Every structure is written in C-alpha cells, then in structure tokens.
Structure 1
Amino acid sequence: MSTSLEVKSESPRSLDADAVVVGYHSGDDGLVPASGASEVDSAFSGGLGSALALLGATGAVEEVRTVPSLGAVAAPVVVAVGLGPAPADGASVSADVVARAAGAALRALRGKSRVVVALPADTGELAAAAALGAVLGSYSFDRYRTGSTKEPVSSVTVVSGAADAAEAVQRATVVASAVCLARDLVNTAPADLRPADFAGIAEQVSRDHGLDITILDEKALAEGGYGGLIGVGQGSSSPPRLVRLSYSHPEATTTLALVGKGMTFDSGGLSLKPSSAMEWMKSDMGGAAAVLAAMRAIAELRVPVNVVGYLAIAENMPSGTAQRPSDVLRIYGGKTVEVLNTDAEGRLVMADALVRAQEDNPDLIVDVATLTGAQLVALGTRVFAVMANDDAVRDQVVAAATSAGEAAWPMPLPEELRKGLDSSVADIANVAGERWGGMLSAGVFLKEFIADGVKWAHLDIAGPAFNQGEPHGYTPKGGTGAATRTLVRLAESLAQRAE
C-alpha cells in the first residue's frame, strides 16, 4: 500500500484525522512544544506537555508517546514525538531530526488510516523532511505474510504555511517512493528475484518512466567479453544480466553514470560463506536497487542532467560449473584477474560494468555496492564509505549524501595497498594478500578499471543497505534503500553546477 500526501495550512487542532503528530523539545523546565505543536498543546487543560511529563516523556529524539485527545482536538489520538533540545538562538531544528521523528511516529501509527503531521515545517525543506519521514516510516513489506496485519498509514497531511511546501513535499514523495522500491527489491526472497527477474523489473520501470533500456543476456555477455559477469554467474542455474538504463533531458549539458552491484544472492561460491553470514545475502543487490530507484526518481523529477545506469546482475552459487579459486577471468576491455577467493565476486561484476560505463563518456561515474564486510568493521551499520580518485569528487558525493540526510564518510585509497593485489599469473588478483584495510583494497581494485582522467567515486554500502537490528526513525528492519537519496541529490547538484 502506498502512502498519499497533501499539504494544508489549517490548524492541526481542527483537521479531521485518526491521529495528529506533534513535536516536543526537552528543556530545563520540562517539555517545550515545538513549532507546529502550540495550538494542540494549548488545547489541553494545563498544556499537553505537562501531561506528557507525567507519563515520563523527556523529549529525547524519536521518543514517542501516544495519548487520547478526549475531544481537545478533532483527532481522537495525539502522538507526541521527541525532537531533542530546542535549537539555540532561534535556529530551526534540523531536517534530519524532523524526518526521523516523523518516521518514528508513523511506525507507531500502523493500523491508522489518516494522519496529520504537525511537526516543524516553517520552510519547504522542513515540510519535505516531514513528508519524507512519514512515507519511509509508513513502509511495510508484507508480500509473504498471511493473515491479518496492521496496514500502514494510507493518507498523510503535512501542516505547513511555507510558500514552497507543496512543491517540496511533492519532490520528497517521489524520492521516498523510489527508496521504497529499492527496499522492496532488497527484501524480496532471492528465489523470486533471480537475475532475469531483476532485469524484468528494470524493464518495467523503464517503460513506466520513459527510460531507454538495453539488457545483455548470458550469450551477449559472453560474445561481448564480459568475463567478470560470466565467471561469477556460471555456477548458477540462473545466468547473469547486464542492464543499461538511460535518461536524457533536452537541457542537460552533464552526463552522470551510475553503476550498481546486483548480486541477487551471494553464497560465496566455492569459497562458501558460513550460514550466519549467508542469511542476509539477498541484500547483496542493494547497490543495483539504489541505482534503479534513483534512475526512476531522476526521470520522474525531470532533473536536467543526462544519466546512464548500469545494473551488474548475477547470482553467486557453488556447483560443478562454478568458477574456482585460481581461475583467471578476462574483464570487459581485456584486463585479466586471478580469482583467489570466489566470495570477492562483487568487484568482478562491477569491473565489467565500470569499463563499459566509460564508453558513454560521462562527466562522473559513481558506483554503489554492498562490497565488503570490512565496511561494517570500519564504519558500522549506518554510515557508508565514499572513496574516489579525486578528492573534490569524493567531497562532492559526501556533501550530496549529507544534504540528502544520509550518513557518509570520506575514505582514502592508499597507493601502497595496490601491491597487495599483485598476481603471479594475471594483471591483478581479486583479493589482497593481507587482511587489513579490506574495504580500501576493494576500492583500490575497482580504481584499476578506471582510465586516467575519468572522474569516479565508489560507495561501499554493505552495512547501511540492510538493517539487521531493530527499526529506528524512518528505517525499518531489512532493506533500507541506502544511497538512493544520495544519488538523486548528486544528479540535482550536477545539474545546478551546469547552469
């Protein structure tokens, strides 16, 4: 079920809905109603904040308290969500805090149909944050559930008097819907998302949103010399695919290439993973999911930039036809790779796609991949890494992520790590001879397939792409849609720079 949004400027006290969401700050003298909450707060005798304090509310970020309105406002239920300390010197609360608060509130309101969100929305940016959080917080993946479940909220009204609120909320709705597409893809059981299935979904998205698409099957990949995809996919009964999507705008002067890792399931191949590490490997196509979702949003928003997207799709399975450690693959373009570990397969399919993407002569290439377990060791489960062959490009991508509300951190590509990837029989090995700096070594490997003068950035989203813990803010358990918002914001920033 999708969540519809609208913007109204009326008092949240009088709007007809199943629940109204308001925000509170923590203060030295108790709870302080946030912008948008004052009329609801004053409708209660003695102030709603006083009643919430008696219930133990502190105003901490994402803290949720639900109270019956008893006729004080039109909605029968009021949901108060914490926003943390009030900003100093009259500054506005951050958009990220508003989005997380909206998400936490909407997760608590499953089973309700119509919800009014009266969180701080004095600007279009804050109204968009409330809308984004509401849609993402309402997300639910129920494809495989039987019996009755609480339906997510179907209709949200964002209260805002900002002149640009409606336009900002519309953009937020498009982006949030794209994130939900990426989440759906990641959450789908791998038996239902084999490489051909994923390519078919991309084909449907292209038809619905006016994208051009080319799909290379296993025969075309073999004839074209895509040794990475063929090698990784040869152990599976479901052969690999390379999908190329293209979006063009008549006013665009800049071309962005996006490349996504699309391992629909990663068993590790003959270098088999332990079972506990395999349980969530349906998420190993999170990079390709983010690229497809971002392409859809960019097309729907009509961003004035040209974008090509590559989905490198395969399934890594052990069988009598699987590639072996010590096999040598010839990547598209001719460079050879010795496969020392078949579980380091993502970089092999990405190498094929990265070389192919350069033939489009883009101004910038950005790849997105759930590439290494070392990313989780370095940055945890909520922050993805950004590496690049140009510091300014790396900073530009990190800035786009920050602006989009995603946590990213710049990381280096140390030249000394290249020696560890030397092979005695091929141009390069797919893993380093030492275990340290595994995330960076993987980035150094990919950099080998980028020609001099081509601007490129690499996003390792291994941890943030799949939430194995409890839901928080607008982030559910399971697929998160990580990096989708960053890619959309990056496309928009490139368009702005070209103006």
Structure 2
Amino acid sequence: MPPVIEVSRDVPEGLDLLAVAVTTEGAEEPRLGEDELPATLLAAQGFTGAADQVALVPGSESGPPRVVVGVGPAAEVDADRLRRAAAQAVRAGRRVGSLGLRLLEVLDADVTAGQRAQAARAVAEGAGLGAYRFVDFRSEPTPEVLERVVVIGKGGAKTAAAVELGARIAEAQCLARDLVNTPGGTLTPAMLAEVAVEIAEREDLKVTVLGPDEIAEAGLGGLLGVNRGSNQEPRFVELAYEPERPRGTLAIVGKGITFDSGGLSIKSGEGMMTMKMDMGGAAAVIGAFSALRAVAPRCRVLGYLPMTDNMTGGDATRPGDVLTIRNGTTVEVLNTDAEGRLILADALCLASESEPDAIVDLATLTGAVEVALGNRIAGVLGNDEVWLDQVEAAAGGAGERIWPLPLPADYRSRLESTVADLRNISTTKDGGTITASLFLAEFVADGIPWAHIDIAGTAWWGDGDDGEWSKGGTGYGVRTLLELARTFTPPRRRRSRG
C-alpha cells in the first residue's frame, strides 16, 4: 500500500525522518536554517544545495534525522522543482515508517497564495510518485515500510486542499503506471475495459463498452482490422464526466494497443520487449478519469478508448489489405506495425460525432518523436493555434514537458494510395511523426479544434529512478489531461499551425 499523505502546519512529534530543502545560497550559511544543519558535515558529503543533491544528517535530542535535498538557486525554485525534491526525499525515506516534508519554506516570501497552493500540490504529487513501486508479479515483494508522509507548510485550508488534490492526482498517475507495467498477456483488451468500468462505477461516471458485435455494427473497420490476428476480443470504451451546467465539452482519445507485436510486419525481439506500454495513451485517459471528480472541472469530458492487441494470427491483416474506417474512408495498410493510427481513426470519428468544442488524443504513435525529442518530452501537433496553445499551457502547468511540431499541408501527398483513399504509412522515411499526425487529421470533423500528443518517448522510462520518474511505465499525460480539463476554455478561432 502507498503511504498516506497528509498535511500539517508544524512539524509533528514522533516523525522518523524529516526532509528539508536547501538552496545553493542557503548551503553557504554556517548553520543552515532553523534546523541549524551542520554545514561542515554537509560540505564533507559534497553537498552544495545544487538541484538533485541528497544528504543525510543524524538526529539529535531535539529532532529526528534529516534528509537534506538540494533545490538549486532560490530564484529557480518552483512547483516542478519541489515535486522532484519530494520524490527524492520519499525514496530516501522508504525504510522509515513516517516522513515529514518541510520543503515549502524555500519558496520566496512574496509568492501568491495560489502559487503556494500549487507548490503544495506538487509536493504531494512528488511524494506519491516517488513512493511508487510495481510489485504485482514478484513472488516475495519487499514489504512497504513507509506508511505516512506529512507535507508541512503554512496556508491553512488552501494548503490542505492542495495536498489532498495532489495526492489524488499522484494516485491517478500511479494507476496509469500500473496499467502500462502489467504484461500484455495479463492486461487483455477485455481486462483493460473492466478497469475502466470499475473506475467509472467508483467515480459515478457514465460508461459504455462495445464488444466485437457492437464494434462491427458501429463500422469501426480500423479496430477490427488490427484485431484480426488476435485471439483476444477487442473492446471500445466510452466514458463521460458530466457536471451540472457544463461550460463546453472536451473529448479525449487514448490509444489502447495492449501489446504490439507489429502484426505481420513483425517487430524485432528487442523492439517487442516493452510493447506492453503501447496502451499508454488509454492508460493516461483512464487515470485522468479516475481523478476528474477530485479536480472538478466545469466542462463536460468525454473519453474514447479503442482497445486491442496487434498479433500475427492466421487471419491477421496483410500488407496491401484495405480497411474501411467509420467515416467511410478506405485505408491501404502497407505496414501492419503502423496500427495505432488505424484504431485512433475510428475513435476520432466517434469523438467528432459528439460535436465537442475540442479534441485531444494521446498515443504512443511513432518512434520518430523519440528521435526528435528524446524520452522526456512529448510532441504535440494539431489543426488550431489557439487550442495548441491551451494544450501546451496545461502541460506546462502540470509539469509535463511538451514541444510543438509542425503539421504542413504539403506533406499530405505522402499518404496518397493508388488503390484506396489513403495509405497508412508515408511514401518517405522522414517526418514520421508529422505524416502520422496528418493521417489522424483526416478523421477529425471540419471545424473541430484538435491536438495530437505523441507520447511514444515519454510513456516508458528505461533508465533508473529519477525524481518523480520511475523505471517502467511513467503515466505521462495524466497530469496534463487533468490540468487541461480544469482550465478548459472552448476555443473560438481556427488558426492552423503549419
């Protein structure tokens, strides 16, 4: 069980460990802060207050041992830096029963109440994310020791509410991590749909699940085509959060390929090793819906989740086959490993039919985005400048890095087929993220602002634990979606970013 995250104005008695933040300027003082941390001892450990440094100080009669976390120059301390520091402190304190996080004191005295609340929320998020472990498949998992984390800071009810919300957001992101980390042979499309139903029932959301017959009736030819090589039945899940007197409608779409072998265009053995993560978009959407009630956005939020695996069974879709998407568009499949865009095409058609004010989709879509941006920054593309600005602002407010890529109309010719309306891969090898996004754009109804977030690089973290990042599934996108819903303003203009 993850630790309980609570809040206190002052340092509670009986803590096993206390974490404090120190800036680079603070590390130069002879006795650091009200704790009077021994500067000589810290200096002997090479501690300078630089960001990401962690040091330990023994306890005394007046207080518990302390873990000291460097946060860099005081002018650079913000919610993102404190989220990271909280995660580092929690990892350092995993072997104690209770940990206090006195990190908010390094904030500038002039910060607004809103900024202080945002920082408190980030500390709680970092604590929950830093405590994350995935042990479901270990025969003898190491028992959890840390049971209680106390965020210490002034601000009264606002700080308490922010910490509570931060804990819920972290829980939502950890749910997405669990889903991504679960093997594809266990997390089948049917099981993923069951998780979505459980969340909907818990959160009092509307949910609809389509099985194979209903998917066929709905004309979801992309989803059926990808599913042809599988022994597992596909699912299509629709979720809805509907507040009273909603201020606009936001539709979110998530790619749900529970395992991707590449189909007949089969991946290499190494390329398949992490392909249980190919449903990271759907996981992020389910995670976000699990915390929507806590965030309480004023807009209506609709979710569209196509779910299948991509396998090599006897009747798998062959290169050269033609599929018909829900809107009647025919697609020549020339690479069965470009399957995510096929199931998203159906989902974007359905999302468009609900006539939302805007659409955003998340998908582990292209390896090209990781080549361009690495594994910590997602790419975003779309058809509306105003909406893209809003998505980027939400990602920035949530502390998830994102970068815009162009969507030039003249690249569209690379998707022209000689036998169908479209081909599912470009005629060239360059610009893969762009051409995949142009393919998706074909299935967004005219006039609807749309953004596509390619999380192929950010949904999986292959290196060791680093700040709030844990090895394996990251749950990237949950915080962005929640912030986007919280701050949603229906776009009024269409200005293409090309």
Q: What residue in structure 2 maps to residue 93 of structure 1? A: 77
Q: Give the Å deviation of 1:8.
A: 0.9
Q: What residue in structure 1 maps to residue 33 of structure 2? A: 38
1:209–1:300 contact (8 Å) kept in structure 2? no
**Residues of 1 paired with 2:173 and 2:346: CA distance?**
26
1:134–1:156 contact (8 Å) kept in structure 2? yes
1:83 to 71, 76, 80: 71
Q: What residue in structure 2 maps to residue 6 of structure 1? A: 6
**Residues of 2 paired with 1:28 and 1:135: CA distance?**
27
2:184 to 184, 190, 214: 190
More moved, 323-332 vs 54-63: 54-63
Q: What residue in structure 2 maps to residue 136 of structure 1? A: 129
Q: Which amino acid aligns with 1:245?
A: L
More moved, 330-339 vs 104-113: 104-113
Q: What residue in structure 2 maps to residue 15 of structure 1? A: 13
- What secondary structure does 2:71 align onto? strand
2:86 to 74, 99, 102: 102
Q: What residue in structure 2 maps to residue 348 of structure 1? A: 342
Q: Which amino acid aligns with 1:482?
A: Y
Q: Which amino acid aligns with 1:19?
A: L
More moved, 334-343 vs 53-62: 53-62
Q: Give the Å deviation of 1:58.
A: 2.3
Q: Give the Å deviation of 1:150.
A: 4.8
2:95 maps to 1:111: yes
- What secondary structure does 1:251 align onto? coil
Percent identical pairs in the alignment equals 45
**Residues of 1 paired with 2:297 and 2:464: CA distance?**
35
- What secondary structure does 2:354 align onto? coil
Q: Alpha-carbon deviations, 1:324-352, whole Å to 9, x = none?
A: 00000000111110000000000000000
2:56 maps to 1:66: yes
2:202 to 208, 211, 219: 208
Q: Which amino acid aligns with 2:367?
A: G
TM-score by length of 1: 0.93
**Residues of 2 paired with 1:119 and 1:234: CA distance?**
53
2:43 maps to 1:53: yes
2:27–2:39 contact (8 Å) kept in structure 1? no
Q: What residue in structure 2 maps to residue 323 of structure 1? A: 317
Structure 1 gap ranges (5+): none
Q: What residue in structure 1 maps to residue 113 of structure 2? A: none
1:25–1:31 contact (8 Å) kept in structure 2? no
Q: Give the Å deviation of 1:452.
A: 1.4
1:337 to 331, 334, 343: 331
Q: Give the Å deviation of 1:29.
A: 7.2
- What secondary structure does 2:24 align onto? strand
Structure 2 gap ranges (5+): 108-115, 493-498
Q: Give the Å deviation of 1:419.
A: 0.6
**Residues of 2 paired with 1:7 and 1:140: CA distance?**
23
TM-score by length of 2: 0.94
Q: What residue in structure 1 maps to residue 238 of structure 2? A: 244
Q: Which amino acid aligns with 1:63?
A: Q
1:427 to 411, 421, 427: 421
More moved, 287-296 vs 108-117: 108-117
**Residues of 1 paired with 2:27 and 2:201: CA distance?**
57
Moved over 4 A (4+): 495-498
Q: Give the Å deviation of 1:59.
A: 1.8
**Residues of 2 paired with 1:479 and 1:32: CA distance?**
42
Q: Which amino acid aligns with 1:105?
A: A
Number of positions where the alignment pairs a residue of Structure 1 with one of Structure 2? 482
After TM superposition, the structure 1 = structure 2 runs for residues 227-376 of structure 1, keeping only pairs within 5 Å, are 227-376=221-370
2:359–2:450 contact (8 Å) kept in structure 1? yes
Q: Alpha-carbon deviations, 1:362-419, whole Å to 9, x = none?
A: 1010000000000100100000011110111111101100001110111111112111
